[in-house]
Structure 1
Amino acid sequence: MPDAHNVLIVVFDGLQPSQITPELMPNLAKFADGGVTFANHHPVFPTVTRVNASSMVTGCLPGRHGLAGNTFLCRDFDPHRIIPAMEPTLQAIADATGKTLLAPTLADILGRHGREYIAIGNGTSGNAYQHNPNAAMVGGATIHPDFTLPRSLHSELETRFGAWPPQELPNTSRLAHARRIMTEYILPELNPAVALLWSSEPDKTQHEDGVGTGRANQALSEADAEFGNVMAWLEQNGRLDTTDVFIASDHGYSTISRVIPVEAMLRDSGFPTIDQNGGVAVAANGGSALFYVNNCDPGVAARFTRWLTAQDWCGPLFASERVGQPAGTLPASIIGCDGLRSPDLIMSFPWNSDANEAGYAGHAPATGGVPGQGQHGSMSRHELRNVGLARGPSLRSKTVIDTPTGNVDLAPTILRLLGITGYEGAMEGRAISEALKDETGSTRDVRTEAHEAETAGYRQKVQVSQFGGARYVDWGNRV
């Protein structure tokens, strides 16, 4: 692999493979035709943004990297309060405990080798924070409309590029501002080993309007145009021959079938708040919910599980080793969701493949929103299939890879491309050798496992694929 080259990652939040068409996204469609398509690409579960962003930069599943959801409970920070994974809270966790992620990030590793990772995006502040939480110590940066790391960079960028535009739907003006900073400052002046551009679209508009609506399609086309501007800059500046470009999305999408007020229902059923004996806390995460029981009490977990599995909206359900194995649950370890900061129980809503009005398959209940809007977070196969593309001098061309790949493979693959070794054992993803020009790829077979559990009136099934030492959740549902 060449030593002196760069990697650029572009993430489209909530983009599905079926949305990359010449009509909706001509620049991405052209990119895909000439490069590598990861046709069996996976997010991690829960299929929410900040969990997947953390897996992208650590190469680890949620149990190991320690960010359990977009909302979660962090017992070593506050054992009784559900908190949002947003920059102010994540910074408070770092100040109190020493770290927000329990695994090193790409930025941390690159910094040890005198290289830098710089991320810019117009998504949530929590997403941006996780990309380089230690920038002040390890170098590089993360740039967001609300803040930067290092902190001093925010005012410098506003002086040079002006204030960020206000949020809107589609959020194109903010993406254009981020793209301008990328092509006028980050790439030409800082020239980091790895740069990332994160688009909040189509996720932002799909949450509001639904998948496939007129404004959601507008968001796709406008985000694609900004991607085209980035690729044009690379070409005009002679950088295509030295830049490996990866395209990803953090998760797929579903349409909300109904809204389940989980916390209100469990309170009405007599479960007190977590600070009381027998109490339970719930962290709502769209198509999934995370549960924490008072003092990690196995008896409370078992009683709560009996109530939960009796609800028709309870889909796949997993238990942390710390609360035992309540009847009907599967071990959270099989999906990579057991660890120091993991929930005691984690549930996905059940789902189906019914199409919405625009023809996009996949419906599921959600913890919030309105029926007909877009949502994610569950174990639906429509959310557990996301976008993975790559193109560049180190990568194969016109290649479709059907072996399982995932967001968790991004960090180890990039480190392989940059010639940085010694971190493979700390990551749960794998370097996707079958995509690399100078490597033959693995000849091992894909191993697919079905896990089932049942109790009175409830049965679940989950499929997990393993390949190259990595594991990928294919789907899980109540059956």
Structure 2
Amino acid sequence: MSNSPAASQHRTIIHPHARHVIVVGIDGLRPDMINAATMPNLTAMRARGVSSKDHRTVFPSETRGALTALASGARPETTGVLGNEFYSRDGSGLLTGTDTIHDWRAGDKRLIGGMVTATNLSETLAKNGKSFAVVTSSGQGSFTALNWKGGDWGQTGYNVRHPAVGFPPELAVDIAEQHRVPANGLDRGAEKQAVAVFTDTVWPAKKPDAAIIWLTEVDSASHRYGLGAEGMLASMRDCDIAIGNLLEWRDRQPEKDGIVIFVTSDHGHSTIVEFISVGDAFKEAGISADTRLGDGVDVLYRRGRAPGFWLKKFDKGLLQGVFDALAVQPWYGATFTPAIERGSHEGILPGTLALELTGAAHPRAPDLYINLKGDGTNNAFGVPGTSVCDAGSYSGIPLGGGSHGGLHSTELAAVLIGEGAGLKSGGQVIASRTAIYDIAPTVLEMLGLKPAASMTGRPMFELFEEGEAVEAPVVTEFTAAIDGKVSRIVIGHVAGRAYIDEADLLTENADKYGAQPKGAELQS
């Protein structure tokens, strides 16, 4: 059920106008929260340029998996990076983390196929004689996901919060000196400094053909303060100032007519209204489960908004027991297991949907994913979208803070706004479906390059000034019911690609949902 390669899409003849493509990422920014009060510069850019009404991220909707998808042009089913942590079935019994550069390098040595089983933009551009730069104000893991092995390919990378991971070393030394970056890095809130590093030092030194500037502050503020809280809104305003600085810089450049700027985000957020423990549910059910596999442990699990479960040794009876322990909980949500047969939308357990529908069916994927309960209720600040979370990596985040990782519509919704040479203008809004994994193929198309063989996203021709419109999305609802509980996922199909709109659990009028999807069959 994987998406067909980008190269297989009918290619409209486009004469790229872009000489430089810059992607600016604002971690965790929800598109419905952008307005003239919170982000005047981005709002004005949207009014001048083109935007996607229904831009999506990947599942799990977590940063390191999403950024790997961005830079690889493929979903987790291809990249192998399933969110911020996953079990790679390597026999270690330990979850593979993505927080630090050491996690990535150690994983690359240990895992079959390496840490990432897809080709990064850094490699594709280098093989075509093109330069690439990544500048971030993020953690080490996000920086590494965006420019995986970039140093090996002669590309440029700098993280203002973790300068020791920058490359090449000569440029990293210049940046630290010119921008007074201490050896231990700048504190959070360094988005303006990250943009300045790019405009004032990286650009004059390298003039990269493609670049990514990633700003992480809105995500951190959403977790800490909550969606719509003043602390979160202040972070949005600070990021908007950084975007304004970049746009002003572009307008001063002799090459301004050949520069394209995209602004995007890697996921949205929902508001946490309850913390739960899947571990406690297993204890009550008499199932031996832990976050690592050891003696006497039969099930390894990851926590968060969409807990995943790996069996030490596959046994359908045990998997049924795991499902049963979850299904009786008040926080039970849409659940996924491997497809009962190729092309089916049903999972191997009754009442579950096929894991392949999520775009995360890599060999490293768990035997069962559950998308914990959520709904459209407003939070204390009037922002819609609430959910349940197993604390996990969210430890320290207060009740009412933002969360992501699941399939709530507010977590999957992301930002895509573009302006510059070769793009539509005048505030046009594209109402197809686009996704984070379409960005890399689009960057390559604008630079006149072919996609890597592992790219399964598509060039977003509908954003191009001379591009042909794509067909309207075919939206399909897939369901699987048991005991009056209906797991549901809604997917929009465009140009042979699948874009997830949302997944949830229905408990009312369950008898009206049969075994067949309501719309067209899943496209393979």
TM-score, length-normalised on structure 1?
Answer: 0.93
Is 1:309 equivalent to 2:322 in the alignment?
Answer: no
Equivalents in 2 of 1:26, 1:211: separation in Å? 18
1:28-177 to 2 correspondence within 5 Å?
A: 28-76=42-90, 78-86=91-99, 87-97=101-111, 99-144=114-159, 145-146=161-162, 147-150=164-167, 152=169, 154-164=172-182, 171-172=188-189, 174-177=190-193
Within 1, Cα distance between the matches of 2:477 and 2:417?
A: 28
How far the C-alpha of 1:471 sits from its partner, in A, is 0.8
2:234 corresponding residue in structure 1:
218
Structure 1 residue 388 and structure 2 residue 411: aligned?
Answer: no
Equivalent residues of 2:59, 2:83 under 8 A apart: no
Superimposed CA distance per residue, residues 209-265 of structure 1 (whole angstroms, 9 cap, x where no aligned partner): 101111111111111001111111111123331111111011111110100122343
Please, which of 294, 302, 315 is the counterpart of residue 283 of structure 1? 302
CA 270–117 in structure 1, closer or farther in 2 if over 3 Å, else same: farther
Show the counterpart of 1:478: 505
Question: Corresponding residue for 2:271?
Answer: 255
Residue number among 450, 462, 465 corresponding to 1:434 in the alignment: 462
- Paired residues of 1:135 and 1:149 also in contact (CA < 8 A): no
**Letter matched to residue 340 of structure 1:** P
CA shift digits 1:440-461 (9 cap, x unpaired): 222x232111111122353211
2:154–2:168 Cα contact (<8 Å) kept: no
Where does the alignment leave 5 or more consecutive residues of structure 1 unmatched?
Answer: none
Q: Indicate how the Cα distance of structure 1 residues 100 and 198 shifts in structure 2: closer, same or farther if over 3 A, else same.
A: same
Are 2:341 and 1:299 aligned?
Answer: no
Letter in 2 for 1:73: Y
Distance in 1 of aligned mates of 2:444 and 2:185: 36
In the aligned structure 1, how far is the partner of 2:131 from the partner of 2:390? 38
Runs (4+) of structure 1 moved beyond 6 Å?
none
TM-score by length of 2: 0.86
Q: Count the aligned residue pairs.
A: 472
Q: Distance in 2 between matches of 1:201 and 1:20?
A: 15
How far apart, in 2, do the equivalents of 1:48 and 1:103 lie? 18
Cα distance between partner residues in 1 of 2:168 and 2:254: 32
Which whole-Å CA distance do the structure 2 matches of 1:135 and 1:388 have between them?
25
**Alpha-carbon offset, residue 296 of structure 1:** 3.3
Equivalent residue for 1:27, pick from 32, 35, 41: 41
For each residue in 1:276-318, what CA deviation from the matched residue of structure 2 results, as whole angstroms up to 9, or x when unmatched?
5661111123x21121111233332222112112212121111
1:406–1:377: structure 2 CA closer, same or farther, 3 Å change rule? same
Change (3 A) 1:183 1:167: closer
8 Å CA contact 1:277–1:294 kept in 2: the answer is: no
Where do residues 180-199 of structure 1 align in structure 2 (5 Å cutoff)? 180-199=196-215
Deviates more, 1:32-41 or 1:149-158: 149-158
Secondary structure of the corresponding residue to residue 382 of structure 1: helix
Give the conservation status (yes or no) of the 8 Å contact 1:280–1:291.
yes
Aligned counterparts of 1:20 and 1:6: Cα–Cα separation in 2: 26
Which of residues 370, 375, 378 in structure 1 aligns to 2:406?
378
SS at match of 1:207: helix
The answer as to 2:450 corresponding to 1:421 is yes
Cα distance, 1:40–1:352 mapped onto 2, change above 3 Å: same
1:10 is the counterpart of 2:24: yes
Aligned counterparts of 2:20 and 2:493: Cα–Cα separation in 1: 30
> Structure 2: how far apart are the matches of 1:48 and 1:263?
21
Report Cα offsets for 1:315-336 as digits up to 9, x if no partner.
1111135997122211111121
Residues in 1 aligned to 2:405 and 2:483: alpha-carbon distance in whole angstroms: 26
Aligned pair partner of 1:350 in 373, 388, 394: 373
Root-mean-square deviation (Å): 2.1
Contact (CA 8 Å) 2:300, 2:309: kept in 1 or not?
Answer: yes
Q: Structure 1: how far apart are the matches of 2:116 and 2:484?
A: 38
Contact 1:294–1:300 under 8 Å retained in 2: no
One-letter amino acid of the structure 2 residue matched with residue 281 of structure 1: L
Are the equivalent residues in 2 in contact too, given 1:278–1:293 (CA < 8 A)?
no
Distance 1:109 1:8 in 2: 16
Residue 466 (str. 1) matches residue 493 (str. 2): yes
Once the two structures are TM-superposed, the CA of residue 373 in structure 1 deviates from its matched residue by 0.9
Counterpart of 1:330 in structure 2 is 353
The answer to whether 1:401 aligns with 2:417 is: no
State the shift of 1:155 in Å: 4.5
Give the deviation of 1:422 after TM superposition.
5.0
Does residue 1:207 correspond to 2:223, yes or no?
Answer: yes
> Partners in 1 of 2:479 and 2:354 — Cα distance?
11
The percent identity for this pair of structures is 25
Residue in 2 that maps onto 1:341: 364
Q: Does the aligned pair in 2 maintain the 1:252–1:385 contact within 8 Å?
A: yes
Moved more, 377-386 or 323-332: 323-332
More moved, 109-118 vs 88-97: 88-97
Change (3 A) 1:37 1:422: closer
What stretches of structure 2 of length at least 5 have no aligned partner? 1-14, 342-346, 392-396, 507-524
My pick for the range that moved more, 137-146 or 221-230, is: 137-146
- Give 3-state SS (helix, strand or coil) of 2:412's partner: coil
SS of the residue corresponding to residue 411 of structure 2 reads coil
* Deviations 1:352-389 (CA, angstroms, capped at 9, x unpaired): 11111211100001122332111111211111211111
Instruction: Write the letter of the residue equivalent to 2:206.
Output: L
* 1:363 and 2:386 correspond: yes
What SS is found at the alignment partner of 2:369?
strand
Say yes or no: does 1:447 pair with 2:474.
yes
